[in-house]
A and B are shown apart, each in its own frame.
Chain A
Amino acid sequence: MTAPPARWLDLRRHTTARVALGRVGNGLPTAAHLAFQQAHAGARDAVWSALNLEQLAADCAPLGLPVHQVASQAADRRQYLLRPDLGRRLRQADRQRLARSPTPGAFLLVVADGLCAAGVQAGAPALLAELVPLLRAQRMAPGPIVLAEQARVALGDEIGEAMQAAMVAVLIGERPGLSATDSIGIYLTWGPRPGRSDAERNCISNIRPAGLSPRAAAAKLAWLMRAAEGLGATGVALKDAAPMGLLP
């Protein structure tokens, strides 16, 4: 006996992918087409969004940590996209300014726009509000906080070197996708200095309201920072030491 044909729509129960959209001729039905356009528009606007540094500094003020503001050598978003190398280098005046207030051995927290300033603007204060008290409770003195514009992950290396930090955690906006335009990643680097490779970092990604919660991300980072301090290293060596389930 033949079962009746299943409904195409039922496929949607099994995936978040854009299945069972229907067809009009060979094209997408208008609603599905516009839903895609809306998601892409959100992602595009997120890529081209900019940090409001004054607001971000005000949001960080209750944490009671010194807050610095810096920018990379990428002059604007277009140059930032075209020249990743410039997004990894500090403007000279900013480097000199940071070097005048060194914090030897500090656990620096860098908040960077990356590819999604809007996500960082919205999500970083809550993440820091979980993280800073947790680190203090574990007797790890965090800070200062450095807010960085037009920044790639590796900008943290030069910031950390200028301030003589022991390690740097870069909270940075991740590349917006069609389904998430508010995702933050954290990259932790021990002994920051220009030339560090990505293999020498540890990463926590997908931090957003619908992904990894700020509290869970803060707990992971606190564990990593404690372990990095003990090991005197971040990267592959540290990842291998992490308990199962702690790292993505």
Chain B
Amino acid sequence: MGFAHAVGSTRHTFADLKTLLARATPLRSGDQLAGLAAASAAERVAAQCALADLPLRHFLTETVVPYEADEVTRLIVDRHDRRAFAPIAHLTVGGLRDWLLAEADTASLAALRPGLTPEMVAAVSKLCRLQDLIAVAAKCQVTTRFRNTLGLPGTLSTRLQPNDPVDDPRGVAAAILDGLLLGAGDAVIGVNPATDSVDATCRLLDLLDGVIQRYEIPTQSCVLAHVTTSLLAMRRGAPLDLVFQSIGGTEATNTSFGVSLALLREAQQAALALKRGENVMYFETGQGSALSAAAHHGVDQQTLEARAYAVAREFQPLLVNSVVGFIGPEYLYDGKQITRAGLEDHFCGKLLGLPMGVDVCYTNHAEADQDDMDALMTLLGVAGVTYIMGVPGADDVMLAYQSTSFHDGLYLRAALGKRPAPEFESWLDRMGLDAASRAGVLPLAPRLAGLA
């Protein structure tokens, strides 16, 4: 079945749901690279009009990636809860946008989650302006727990990202102490290892666990190695809090990442068996990964990103974040495209029930700079983002990109009246870290972190 809408004297037609979604997507370079973007502004708005008139029930009858060919589609279809869907079953996509803005509240949005599919959420996001994406996301509350509580109203957390180009334990430790001094790390202290090996991962896990125990920090650690590496580390008895994995919105994308739903399930069970905490998974996503892996099935990158959130929510993660500006200008060209994508990802993730953070970031070949990052992090803060990253001086010396800094986290909390996770905030107060950083001293004995 096709779709059509006339703008002026021109009738625009769209062969199927995935084409309609792609043409309705606000301009971004990745959809142009894939040959899926609307050819004109008129075609784009025609697609948005046709999409606005589409009944939400239609999403239960037409998939964008075939059920038989894709385990992510099967997960989405098989997990859909028609009872939860009932309150919005009579609406169109445009009607859902109006309902989200006018009627929905925190409780009704929480109840709705199992009734929403990623494609419905992606569709409505395509009809939203930035302020709509912010206003609706701000109504969502998603709370998760490990050693502290994340996502409580009025809080804003940060991941402390102490990456080192060669996994030098002293470099990692110095960045951790720097971040703690500046109030970072309540979401997680999470290192991207330079080398994805079991030995390197176990060494880093021991270091992070040692720091958390010696300073008695109410937070959790993660080494962002491949899930198979984490499984081996757990078998060796490493002190692993969270299992990390990059995921995407199609089975073929996940295959390119070397994972499947079954493997993720195995890892989650292994981590739960350690009895260290209740939400034990940490996922990263990002628009464009499916196209990059030649696994997009002709679906636009933002819809596929929302489908990745269906994968994530299956495993009750502690944290999810979109690494929105990392992928490069062929997917998100400039600050404008990165900004919109970051807010879309946060909106879709929150509506689907995820503890959604965003890596507000850019590479040096994108048309973006620190001003774009300041704007996006501030917009996300207003939208109630669960956490952002914290990198020394915003400069990740291992991954060679720019993210948000420890200072940025302090700025954002102060500008919006937000606080860290309560357990972590008490610890910061007890240690006197805020006053110490203003005085230029380090009250955390460095030798406890392995620094003489």
A11 adjacent to B174 (CB under 8 Å): yes
Chain B residues, Cβ within 8 Å of A84: 33, 330
B175 interface neighbour in A10, A15, A27, Cβ under 8 Å: A15
5 pairs, A vs B, C-beta closer than 8 Å: A8-B178, A15-B171, A28-B405, A36-B393, A85-B33
Nearest-neighbour CB distance to chain B for A63, whole angstroms, equals 31
Chain A: CB-nearest residue to B165:
A16
Say whether A241 faces chain B, with CB atoms less than 8 Å apart: no
8 Å CB contacts to A: which residues of B1-36?
Answer: 29, 32-33
Chain B residues, Cβ within 8 Å of A11: 174, 177-178, 442, 446, 451
Say whether B329 faces chain A, with CB atoms less than 8 Å apart: yes
A32 adjacent to B365 (CB under 8 Å): no
5 closest Cβ contacts across the A-B interface? A18-B393, A177-B400, A15-B171, A26-B410, A14-B174
Nearest-neighbour CB distance to chain A for B446, whole angstroms, equals 5
Say whether A100 faces chain B, with CB atoms less than 8 Å apart: no
B414 adjacent to A26 (CB under 8 Å): yes
Chain A residues, Cβ within 8 Å of B175: 15, 17, 19
Chain B residues, Cβ within 8 Å of A6: 441-442, 445-446
B411 adjacent to A82 (CB under 8 Å): no
Say whether B440 faces chain A, with CB atoms less than 8 Å apart: yes
Say whether B394 faces chain A, with CB atoms less than 8 Å apart: yes
Chain B residues, Cβ within 8 Å of A177: 364, 397, 400-401
Chain A residues, Cβ within 8 Å of B369: 40
8 Å CB contacts to A: which residues of B410-452?
Answer: 410-411, 414, 436-438, 440-443, 445-446, 451
Say whether A95 faces chain B, with CB atoms less than 8 Å apart: no
Nearest-neighbour CB distance to chain A for B190, whole angstroms, equals 15
B164 adjacent to A15 (CB under 8 Å): yes
Chain B residues, Cβ within 8 Å of A21: 392-393, 407
A81 interface neighbour in B162, B163, B329, B402, Cβ under 8 Å: B329
Say whether A207 faces chain B, with CB atoms less than 8 Å apart: no
A15 adjacent to B365 (CB under 8 Å): no
Say whether B333 faces chain A, with CB atoms less than 8 Å apart: yes
Chain B: CB-nearest residue to A87:
B330
Say whether B269 faces chain A, with CB atoms less than 8 Å apart: no
Given contacts A6-B445, A9-B440, A23-B438, contact A18 B392 (CB under 8 A): yes
How far apart are the CA atoms of A84 and B405 in the complex, in Å? Answer: 30
A40 adjacent to B393 (CB under 8 Å): no
8 Å CB contacts to B: which residues of A69-90?
Answer: 81-85
B29 interface neighbour in A12, A14, A39, A82, Cβ under 8 Å: A82
Nearest-neighbour CB distance to chain A for B23, whole angstroms, equals 19
Say whether B227 faces chain A, with CB atoms less than 8 Å apart: no
B442 interface neighbour in A8, A28, A39, Cβ under 8 Å: A8
How far apart are the CA atoms of A20 and B171 in the complex, in Å? Answer: 13
Which of B182, B393, B440, B442 neighbours the largest number of chain A CB atoms within 10 Å of its CB?
B393
Chain B: CB-nearest residue to A42:
B364
